[in-house]
């Protein structure tokens, strides 16, 4: 299965993250997974006129195109002209290239939240009129329109994240190559379910602090970051704390809140990223699937039952009280 | 009689890039560099809560994300009048060095060397060896370098949660304190890259490379075994193609100083190196300006970034890029690893640049020497961490404040200028390394560093994407996504 990978309004970080894939031989892993890079901005030799010829061949059907991967938001401005990104050497807006190539491709994959929804590139006043391939934030549409279906029968597959985990991208591409990605494997936002049906909360090392509502108050504290520091891990769809990042990492393990970067609109939370919005002292963003009354009751109960160890460690940057060692065998 | 050539898209650079060339008698006579995308970060930051910058600015760049975080954290710390504890200094330096060295590795193996595997070089004696080691997605050493890089970035999993776009870098230091046992694991991981570099890249101990005093010593070391290790193969190719004479820089190089140390010094000193006088001049940050005469941006002459302004004007007459023209005291400068090594007085680079100036050869050499010099520093910073002492200072940012955050990204001098009013960001300006290097002409019509470096570069008959032009462009390791923030 061949792949053409293009970048537009973004930082290129999803490509850089991809190269962190956990493998001893990256090109060999691609090959073994049935993936052939027709062209990739960081990895291919072809440049300039060679690439333009390839794009024209894909567009005109002279070159088979199995997967079009787009990284970065689609910049429609100014005034819908697309001139905020004119593809070098072609004099044509990138949005025009993407529209045409999407028609020619068997599958279209949005790599990262910018390509999926607009993402960080669309934050605030969105001066570049950035949008995703088939969404603008959580509204279907985007560059290709709500009705778009690629030749292979799937809508744009949204591998959202900022950046994407290399495993999300590779598992998606390998599933497509094996013919194992169907509509049923996509969630209501067209994200692959294998990672989007998890919550960042799952596997979080701060779960004992969460259970007792023993909360971090400042950066580097070990406690749960939901109550004060803006953490959305109990609501955000992703497997970041079970499929770890760069070895043993994740945002919460790195000492900072989950900002729900896989969700449309995460870039404009309506509050400072690292401050939890509250109503009458209760966080507005409650854990997914949890009724508010239950949360309030459980929180007040668990707060009153917090062990001294958990409470002390929550506001320290290292363990100040270790778990007790019992004098009898564990029962 | 000159012909015009529009070259692009360039790949194996970060982001999109177009270069317009006038060619006469087989040489470039004039070059215009176009950064063909606008992203609007300075507009998007205005009105936000100040600490939102720590989430937003790393996402300017997927390859120098930590550098952007460090500049923002320093601007906020400056505005808050904050001192970072020693552990915090070391932890942030480790993250920054991890990214910078990974970028040097990616540049050499994935972005720069593959161009020597082009069919145009098939007749050169070193071609077969270059192909075997560096062919895109196939070369043995390129593949090994991707694997080494992947293992290397596992440092960031522990130090910063993930890469790119870590949130551990904060104004007070690092939000991720390191325990004693973790420090040992990190040291073991640093030694893995040391082993890769000492086997594959240098085929010599890092300390031996770092201690090379001058070019004569380098040439003797090279002659002893001209194909052993990738630095020697590069030197073989460079000598054959005369890369020392290709892509001459402006002769003045800028470093803000890298890796601040307890006591206020830098591990790699700051300064402006003037190759003509052979003297290091102190920096006067007040003389930094940006001029948007030839950018598609509104402007009324050069402004200091603290008074800078960013407003797109897609139809502006005379505009040919989305990048402003940064100048230091009105003059063009070059920035990058070469500037850091010159400012820091590294013997080999000072000698090589005295002979050849900044060129394709000396730029690449500077990155490799920096790899050999900085990795041992990281071992020392890890050893200096004091587990269970603070990594992060408590912070109070006033509702009205101003700050400047300077750092060295892999590609050179990066600065953020911040003003907070009524608890919100009122002003945010960013001057990125490739903004300096790939600057357009200024109001006086003086071309930027790359524009000047391309003049005289050979273009063979029939070449539409001249390979020598590609060498010069990639020798700067451009980051266009930062440039067009």
Cα–Cα distance, B63 to A253 (Å, whole number): 22
Q: In B, which residues are within 8 Å of A121 by CB distance?
A: 39
Q: Which of A11, A41, A123 sits opposite B61 (nearest CB)?
A: A11
Distance of CA B457 to the CA centre of its chain: 23
Predicted local confidence at residue A225, as pLDDT: 98
Q: Which residues neighbour B81 within 8 Å (Cβ) at sequence distance 6 or greater?
A: none
Distance CA B317, CA B301 (A): 15
Is the backbone of residue B346 left (phi > 0), alpha (psi -120 to 50) or beta? beta
User: What average pLDDT score do residues B45-52 get?
Assistant: 98
Say whether A84 and B110 touch across the interface (CB within 8 A).
Answer: no
Mutate which of A27, A256, A269 to test chain B, going by most B C-beta atoms within 10 A? A256
Which residue positions in chain A have pLDDT lower than 70?
none
Residue A131's nearest CA partner among A89, A186, A80, A173 is A80
Residue B373 C-alpha from the chain's centroid: 16
Q: What is the mean pLDDT of residues B148-162?
A: 98
Please name the residue that has the structure tokens 């990974």: B102
Three-state secondary structure of B7-56: ECCCCCCECCCEEEEEEECCEEEEEEEECCECCCHHHHHCCCCHHHHHHH
Main-chain phi, psi angles of B30, to 5 degrees: -160, 140
User: d(Cα B250, Cα B35) in Å, to the nearest integer?
Assistant: 20
Q: How much is the pLDDT for A39?
A: 98
Q: Which residue has the tokens 């001058």?
A: B214
Mapping DSSP onto H, E and C, the string for chain A reads CEEEEEECECCCHHHHHHCCCCCCCHHHHHHHCCCEEEECCCCCCCCCHHHHHHHHHHHCCCCCCCEEEEECEEECCCCCCCCCEEECCCCEEHHHHHHHHHHHCCEEEEECHHHHHCHHHHCCCCCCCEECCCEECCEECCCCCCCCCCCCCCCCEEECCCCCCHHHHHHHHHHHHCCCCCHHHECCCCCEHHHHCCECCCCCCCHHHHHCCCECCCCCCCCECCCCCCCCCCCCECCCCCCCECCCECCCCCCCCCCCCCCCCCCCCCCCCCCCCEECCEECCCCCCCCHHHHHHHHHHHHHCCCHHHHHHHCCCCCCCCCCCCCCCCC
pLDDT at site A327: 81
Of A124, A254, A259, the CB nearest to B44: A124
H/E run at residue B282: none
Average pLDDT score over residue span B35-44: 97
Q: Say whether pLDDT at B131 is over 90.
A: yes
Residue of A nearest to B109 (CA): A43
What is chain B's mean pLDDT, rounded? 97
Q: Residue count of chain B, please give it.
A: 485
Residues of B in contact with A127 (CB under 8 A): 40, 43-44, 312
Closest CA to B283 of B266, B307, B303: B266
- Region B454-460 average pLDDT: 97
Task: List B418's β-bridge partners, or say none.
Answer: B403, B428
Report pLDDT for B300. Answer: 84
- Using the structure block, give the residue that is written with the tokens 């043995």: B140
- Inform me whether the C-beta atom of residue A128 falls under 8 Å from chain B C-beta atoms: yes
Which residues of A fall within a CB distance of 8 Å from B72?
none
- A220 to chain B nearest CA, in Å? 4
Euclidean distance between CA atoms B447 and B291, whole angstroms: 12
Q: Which of A10, A49, A120 sits opposite B464 (nearest CB)?
A: A49
Q: Report the distance separating Cα B85 and Cα B368, nearest Å.
A: 31
Radius of gyration of the CA atoms of chain B, in A: 22
Determine, for residues A89 and B6 on separate chains, whether the beta-carbon distance falls below 8 Å. Answer: yes
pLDDT of residue A281: 87
Q: Which of residues 169-208 of A touch B (CB under 8 A)?
A: none
Mutate to test the interface with B, among A14, A25, A26, A47 (most CBs of B within 10 A): A47
Q: Judge: B150–A22 Cβ closer than 8 Å, yes or no.
A: yes
Q: Do B49 and A272 touch (CB under 8 A)?
A: yes
The H or E element that residue B70 is part of is helix B65-80
Count other C-beta atoms under 10 Å from residue A297's C-beta: 11
Q: Would the pLDDT of B470 be above 80?
A: yes
Find all residues with CB under 8 Å of B277, minimum gap 6, and list them: none
Q: Using CB atoms, pick whichever of A16, A43, A44 lies closest to residue B164.
A: A16
For A68, phi and psi rounded to 5 degrees? Answer: -100, 115
Across residues B173-198, what is the average pLDDT? 98
On whether any CB of chain A is under 8 Å from the CB of B122, the answer is no
Residues of A in contact with B425 (CB under 8 A): none
Q: Which ipTM score applies to this complex?
A: 0.97
Give the residue-averaged pLDDT of B234-255: 98
> Nearest CB to B36: which of A21, A85, A121?
A85
Q: Does A318 touch chain B (CB under 8 A)?
A: yes
State the angle between helix axes of B86-106 and B65-80 in degrees (0 to 180), rounded to the nearest 10.
150
Q: What is the pLDDT of residues B69-123, one digit of tens each?
A: 999 999 999 999 999 999 999 999 999 999 999 999 999 999 999 999 999 999 9
* Beta-carbon count within 10 A of B224 CB: 9
pTM of the model: 0.98
Using a CB–CB cutoff of 8 Å, tell me whether B9 touches chain A: yes
Chain B, 47 to 76: residues with Cβ < 8 Å from chain A are 47-49, 51-52, 54-56, 59-63, 65
Q: Is the pLDDT of residue B341 over 90?
A: yes
């Amino acid at each position: 299965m061949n792949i053409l990978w293009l970048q537009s309004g973004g930082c290129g970080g999803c490509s850089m993250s991809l190269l962190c894939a956990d493998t001893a031989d990256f090109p060999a892993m691609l090959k073994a997974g049935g993936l052939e890079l027709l062209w990739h901005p960081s990895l291919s030799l072809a440049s300039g006129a060679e690439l333009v010829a390839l794009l024209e061949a894909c567009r005109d059907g002279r070159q088979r195109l199995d997967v079009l991967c787009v990284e970065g938001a689609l910049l429609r401005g100014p005034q819908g002209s697309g001139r905020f990104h004119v593809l070098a050497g072609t004099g044509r807006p990138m949005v025009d290239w993407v529209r045409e190539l999407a028609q020619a491709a068997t599958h279209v994959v949005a790599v990262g939240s910018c390509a999926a929804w607009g993402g960080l590139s669309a934050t605030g006043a969105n001066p570049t009129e950035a949008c995703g391939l088939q969404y603008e934030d959580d509204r279907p549409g985007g560059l290709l329109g709500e009705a778009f279906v690629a030749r292979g029968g799937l809508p744009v597959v949204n591998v959202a994240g900022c950046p994407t985990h290399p495993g999300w991208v590779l598992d998606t591409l390998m599933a497509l190559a094996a013919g194992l990605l169907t509509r049923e494997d996509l969630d209501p936002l067209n994200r692959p379910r294998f990672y989007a049906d998890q919550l960042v909360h799952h596997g979080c090392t701060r779960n004992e602090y969460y259970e007792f509502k023993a909360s971090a108050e400042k950066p580097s504290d070990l406690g749960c970051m939901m109550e004060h520091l803006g953490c959305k891990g109990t609501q955000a769809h992703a497997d970041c704390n079970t499929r770890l990042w760069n070895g043993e990492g994740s945002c919460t393990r790195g000492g900072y809140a989950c900002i729900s970067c896989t969700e449309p609109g995460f870039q404009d939370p309506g509050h400072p990223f690292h401050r939890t919005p509250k109503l009458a002292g209760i966080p507005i963003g409650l854990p997914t699937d949890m009724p508010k009354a239950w949360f309030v009751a459980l929180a007040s109960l668990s707060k009153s039952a917090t062990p001294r160890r958990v409470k002390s460690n929550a506001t320290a940057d290292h363990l100040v009280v270790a778990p007790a060692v019992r004098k009898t065998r564990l029962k | 009689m000159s012909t015009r050539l529009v070259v692009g898209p360039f790949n194996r650079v970060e982001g999109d890039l177009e270069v317009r060339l006038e060619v006469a008698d087989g040489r470039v006579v004039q070059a215009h560099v176009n950064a063909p995308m606008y992203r609007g970060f300075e507009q998007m930051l205005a009105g936000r809560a100040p600490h939102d910058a720590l989430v937003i600015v790393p996402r300017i760049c997927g390859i120098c994300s930590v550098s952007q975080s460090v500049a923002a954290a320093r601007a906020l710390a400056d505005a808050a009048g904050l001192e970072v504890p020693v552990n915090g200094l070391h932890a942030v330096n480790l993250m920054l060095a991890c990214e910078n060295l990974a970028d040097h590795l990616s540049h050499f193996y994935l972005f720069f060397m593959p161009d020597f595997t082009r069919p145009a070089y098939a007749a050169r004696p070193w071609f077969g060896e270059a192909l075997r080691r560096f062919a895109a997605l196939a070369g043995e050493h390129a593949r090994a370098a991707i694997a080494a890089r992947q293992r290397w970035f596992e440092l960031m999993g522990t130090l910063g949660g993930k890469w790119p776009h870590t949130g551990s870098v904060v104004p007070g230091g690092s939000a991720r304190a390191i325990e004693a046992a973790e420090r040992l694991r990190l040291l073991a991981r640093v030694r893995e890259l040391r082993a890769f570099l000492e086997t594959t890249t240098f085929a010599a101990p890092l300390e031996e490379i770092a201690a090379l005093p001058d070019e004569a010593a380098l040439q003797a070391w090279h002659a002893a075994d001209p194909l052993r290790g990738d630095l020697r193969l590069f030197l073989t190719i460079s000598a054959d193609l005369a890369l020392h004479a290709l892509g001459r820089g402006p002769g003045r190089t800028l470093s803000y100083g890298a890796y601040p140390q307890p006591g206020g010094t830098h591990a790699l000193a700051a300064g402006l190196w003037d190759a003509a006088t052979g003297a290091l001049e102190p920096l006067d940050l007040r003389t930094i300006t940006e001029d948007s005469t030839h950018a598609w941006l509104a402007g009324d002459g050069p402004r200091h970034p603290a008074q800078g302004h960013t407003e797109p004007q897609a139809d502006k007459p005379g505009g040919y890029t989305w990048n402003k023209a940064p100048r230091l005291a009105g003059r063009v400068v070059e920035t990058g690893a070469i500037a850091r090594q010159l400012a820091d007085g590294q013997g080999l680079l000072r000698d090589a640049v005295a002979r050849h100036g900044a060129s394709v050869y000396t730029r690449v050499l500077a990155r490799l020497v920096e790899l050999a010099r900085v990795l041992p520093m990281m071992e020392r910073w890890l050893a200096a961490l004091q587990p269970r002492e603070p990594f992060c200072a408590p912070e109070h940012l006033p509702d009205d404040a101003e700050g400047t955050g300077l750092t060295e990204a892999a590609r050179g001098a990066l600065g953020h200028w911040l003003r907070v009013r009524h608890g919100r960001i009122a002003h945010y300006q960013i001057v990125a390394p490739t903004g300096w290097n790939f600057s357009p002409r200024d109001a006086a019509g003086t071309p930027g560093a790359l524009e000047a470096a391309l003049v005289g570069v050979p273009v063979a008959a029939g070449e539409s994407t001249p390979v020598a032009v590609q060498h010069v462009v990639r020798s700067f390791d451009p980051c266009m996504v930062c440039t067009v923030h």
